[in-house]
Structure 1
């Protein structure tokens, strides 16, 4: 599953928003929703 994520590569480095690959949820893993209140949200596997 592809999604956008905010990443920081090292201490003191700037954040960047990149497309990342996340594996599908498996047993003992959960799927949750992330987003600003009242805004557009995305499902995330964690």
Structure 2
């Protein structure tokens, strides 16, 4: 599951980076399906 989440983040990462931000995968709980991410930067608008 972690790999699938990472692939999805890679698809949206360029759009966040164009706006001065980024996203980092913090963790994936396989049991509950909870995904934790950290948003970085100063995404505006």
TM value normalised by structure 2:
0.19
- Is the helix fraction higher in 1 or 2? 2
TM value normalised by structure 1:
0.19
Higher relative contact order (CA 8 A, sep 6+): 2
- Is the strand fraction higher in 1 or 2? 1
